[in-house]
């Protein structure tokens, strides 16, 4: 079988690594990188570290307005699909690269597989929510990471060929965590000790593109009086500079460029607590048993909140400061994301559903 996989943004490299490895044992995979993320530390570092095969196509689309970026991708992906004629097209998650790949495949009536299907924040102001809903509704085979995701799809009338296989990001953790602990020197390099620092990541437009919200978050980080390690996404750097927050931030906390996956795993596993608005980081905090303070009003990873390991605080100064002091997570975990074998399960189902 010829499977054409589409990736383009940081979380998709991490999701694609284990599945690409599994697919290539039995099938031919064509890998398309849209180029949505292009800095070395947002793209190449992951391909190298995770040993993702060199993409067959790199579209080099880069940044732009949503319509512009998605439209350019759609145009280029369609050309490749017409040339390669794959048996199936595979997309991951909820970025503009996901949506462009889904539309291109659906319009050509190709079989579309969505990995990380069924997630909902029920917040249509998030670009990702639009991408998820549209992708799910044109997909032929939907791989969900949780029971909630399956239920979300059911409520929207999507019941056929929906499988709960667990979360593919857990596959990546299982495969890489020991190596991360052994190989990464990031704690030494930054001069921090295990469980003596907080880890922060922020990149959602609701937090970065709003001056008021970003100032509130940054002030809270300053005032919690803890050592904070903050790998800064390029979108966030742009706005921190624009709002005149950059100089003070870099003086008061350990602000670093985005890090590779192994360094990130090491930083996450050894953090006392994690503050984030990232979807992937919320899950990883849960998987690694680190309390997570989520700087959003809602989450598609609701199980992490229900299980007592995640708390939603929005961009609210008082709530961030209070939760850093008081939120300690839970003592037990239900392992809501499966057992780290999502890629194997997906491959088995792909074989049995070839004739769908």
Q: Name the 3-class secondary structure at 273.
A: strand
Query: In terms of CB distance, is 134 or 272 closer to ligand UD1?
Result: 134
207 binds ligand UD1 (CB under 6 A): no
Residue among 61 and 255 whose Cβ is closer to ligand UDP: 255
Choices 8-16, 192-200, 285-293, 329-337 (CB under 6 A): range interacting with ligand UDP? 8-16
259 binds, among ligand UD1, ligand UDP, none (CB under 5 to 8 A by kind): ligand UDP
Q: Which one of 10-18, 58-66, 115-123, 189-197 is the stretch in contact with ligand UDP (CB under 6 A)?
A: 10-18
Q: Select the binding partner of residue 38 from ligand UD1, ligand UDP, none (C-beta < 5 to 8 A, by kind).
A: ligand UD1
Cα angle value 314/164/84 (rounded, 5°): 100
Q: Which of residues 238-257 bind ligand UD1 (CB under 6 A)?
A: 238
CB of 284 to ligand UDP, least distance (A): 5
Burial profile 29-38: b = 16 or more Cβ within 10 angstroms, e = fewer: bbbbbbbbbb
In this chain, which stretch among 100-108, 280-288, 301-309, 333-341 interacts with ligand UDP, using CB under 6 A?
A: 280-288
When binding is defined by CB under 6 A, the residue of 203, 273, 283, 296 that contacts ligand UD1 is 203
Do residues 41 and 68 make contact, with C-beta atoms less than 8 angstroms apart?
A: no
Position 173 contacts ligand UDP (CB under 6 A): no
**In Å, how far from its chain's centre is CA 270?**
20
SS (H, E, C) 223-258: HCCCCEEEECCHHHHHHHHHCCCHHHHHHHCEEECC
Least separation in angstroms between CB 86 and ligand UD1: 23
By CB under 6 A, is residue 340 in contact with ligand UDP?
no
* One of 76, 116, 128, 129 touching ligand UD1 (CB under 6 A): 128
Q: Residues 309 to 328: which contact ligand UD1 by CB under 6 A?
A: none
Report what 127 binds from ligand UD1, ligand UDP, none; CB cut-off 5-8 Å by kind: ligand UD1
In whole angstroms, what is the distance from residue 10 CA to residue 82 CA? 26
CA distance 116 to 91: 9
The residue from 22, 100, 141, 259 that contacts ligand UDP (CB under 6 A) is: 259
Phi, psi angle pair for 292, to nearest 5° = -125, 130
> Largest alpha-carbon pair distance within the chain?
59
Query: How far, in Å, CA of 145 to CA of 137, rounded?
Result: 17
Q: Which does residue 258 touch among ligand UD1, ligand UDP, none (CB within 5 to 8 A, set by kind)?
A: ligand UDP
Which one, 69 or 164, has the nearer CB to ligand UD1? 69
DSSP code of residue 42: G
- Phi and psi at residue 306, to the nearest 5°: -60, -35
203 belongs to the catalytic site: yes
CB 319 within 8 A of CB 216: no
Contacts of 49 (CB under 8 A, 6+ apart): 260, 261, 262
- Binders of ligand UDP among residues 108 to 167 (CB under 6 A) are none
234 binds ligand UD1 (CB under 6 A): yes
Overall residue count recorded for the chain in this entry: 356
306 vs 32, 58, 286, 295, CA distance in Å?
37, 40, 11, 16
Q: List the one residue from 6, 59, 81, 281 that touches ligand UDP (CB under 6 A).
A: 281
Per annotation, catalytic residue among 33, 37, 114, 203: 203
Query: Of 236, 195, 217, 228, which Cα lies nearest the Cα of 319?
Result: 217
Q: Which residues is 91 bridged to in the sheet?
A: 6, 114
Among residues 8, 86, 279, 291, the one that binds ligand UDP under rule CB under 6 A: 279
CB-wise, 30 or 214, nearer to ligand UDP?
A: 214
Show which residues are catalytic. Answer: 203
Q: Which residues would be at the binding site for ligand UDP (CB under 6 A)?
A: 10-11, 14, 201, 203, 231, 258-259, 261, 264, 278-281, 284
Q: Which residues would be at the binding site for ligand UD1 (CB under 6 A)?
A: 9-11, 36-39, 42, 63, 94-96, 127-128, 203, 233-235, 238
């Amino acid at each position: 079988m010829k499977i054409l996989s589409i990736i383009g943004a940081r979380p998709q490299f991490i999701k694609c690594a284990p599945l690409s490895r599994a697919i290539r044992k039995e099938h031919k995979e064509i890998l398309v990188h849209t180029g949505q993320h292009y800095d070395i530390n947002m793209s190449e570092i992951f391909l190298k570290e995770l040993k993702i095969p060199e993409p067959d196509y790199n579209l080099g689309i880069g940044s732009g307005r949503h319509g512009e970026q998605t439209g350019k991708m759609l145009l280029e992906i369609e050309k490749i699909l017409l040339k390669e004629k794959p048996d199936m097209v595979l997309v991951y998650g909820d970025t503009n690269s996901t949506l462009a790949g889904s539309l291109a495949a659906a319009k050509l009536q190709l079989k579309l597989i969505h990995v990380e299907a069924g997630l909902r924040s029920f917040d249509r102001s998030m670009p990702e929510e639009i991408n998820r809903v549209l992708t799910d509704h044109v997909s032929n085979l939907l791989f969900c990471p949780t029971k909630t995701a399956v239920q979300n799809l059911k409520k929207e009338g999507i019941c056929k060929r929906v499988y709960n296989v667990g979360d593919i990001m857990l596959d990546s953790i299982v495969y890489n965590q020991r190596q991360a602990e052994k190989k990464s020197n990031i704690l030494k390099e930054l001069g921090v000790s295990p469980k003596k620092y907080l880890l922060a990541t922020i990149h959602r437009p609701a937090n970065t593109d709003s001056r008021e919200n970003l100032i509130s978050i940054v002030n809270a980080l300053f005032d919690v009086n803890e050592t904070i390690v903050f790998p800064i996404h390029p979108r966030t750097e742009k706005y921190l500079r624009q709002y005149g927050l950059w100089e003070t931030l870099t003086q008061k906390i350990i602000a670093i460029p985005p890090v590779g996956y192994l360094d990130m795993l090491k930083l996450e596993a050894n953090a006392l607590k994690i503050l984030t608005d990232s979807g992937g980081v919320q899950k990883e905090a849960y998987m690694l048993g680190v309390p997570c303070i989520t700087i959003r009003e809602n989450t598609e990873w609701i199980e992490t909140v229900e299980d007592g390991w995640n708390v939603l605080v929005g961009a609210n100064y008082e709530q961030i400061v209070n939760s850093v002091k008081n939120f300690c997570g839970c003592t037990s975990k239900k392992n809501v994301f499966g057992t780290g074998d999502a890629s194997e399960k997906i491959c088995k189902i792909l074989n049995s559903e070839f004739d769908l």
